[in-house]
């Protein structure tokens, strides 16, 4: 039992390092890897070592999603491990998708505002030095165009999101049944 504690501490340290961005590779976005992809660093938040629960960290600055730091029990069954890994992989995939999507959105929004202001003969800054903006009606054109242009990408994301969540729900059911079975199964007595 004492030999498991250092191993567990190493796992927790590795998990904390992974979430702080050192050596963590997030699942690639559907299709080719992009050069303008958002950084894959999720959060520097690390839960207390003695915690026995999943922790939800602060929002990621790129994806705006809150990362989950998963607790790894000492006696985790192979099925529970598969469930946890599937949840971690789904979280990383989701974080990366929204980080990339938000980066693209902000870049295209800035380009749209710049081109509209230029077409009106206006500068990017007002006379008082504030950033020039467009009205809601003009921005509605951008939002409509952005959503139309990214419709297919969002459709694939939603399809994959549902597939992943159904798989997670299925494994959660299997884990629950495994736990019930283990409680109901008669304990084997050791003979001396």
40-92, pLDDT tens digit by residue?
A: 455 566 777 777 888 888 999 999 999 988 888 889 999 999 999 999 999 99
Q: Measure the N-to-C terminal CA separation of the chain; round to a whole number of Å.
A: 23
Ramachandran region of residue 103, left (φ > 0), alpha (ψ -120 to 50) or beta? alpha
CB distance 31 to 45 below 8 Å: no
CA distance 29 to 37: 9
pTM of the model: 0.68
The ranges assigned to domains in the chain are 82-184
Instruction: Tell which residue, 170, 165, 178, has the closest CA to residue 77.
Output: 178
């Amino acid at each position: 039992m004492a030999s498991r504690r250092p191993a567990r501490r190493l796992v927790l340290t590795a998990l904390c390092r992974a979430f702080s961005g050192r050596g963590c590779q997030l699942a690639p976005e559907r299709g080719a890897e992009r050069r303008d992809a958002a950084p894959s660093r999720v959060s520097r938040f690390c839960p207390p070592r003695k915690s026995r629960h999943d922790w939800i960290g602060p929002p990621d600055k790129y994806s705006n999603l809150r990362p989950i730091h998963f607790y790894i029990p000492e006696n985790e069954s192979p099925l529970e491990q598969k469930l946890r890994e599937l949840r971690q992989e789904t979280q990383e995939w989701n974080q990366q998708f929204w980080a990339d999507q938000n980066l693209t959105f902000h870049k295209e929004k800035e380009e749209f505002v710049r081109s509209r202001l230029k077409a009106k003969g206006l500068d990017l800054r007002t006379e008082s030095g504030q950033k020039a903006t467009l009205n809601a009606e003009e921005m509605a054109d951008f939002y409509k165009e952005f959503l139309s242009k990214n419709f297919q990408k969002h459709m694939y994301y939603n399809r994959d999101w549902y597939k992943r969540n159904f798989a997670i729900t299925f494994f959660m059911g299997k884990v629950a049944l495994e736990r019930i079975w283990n409680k109901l199964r008669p304990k084997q007595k050791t003979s001396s």
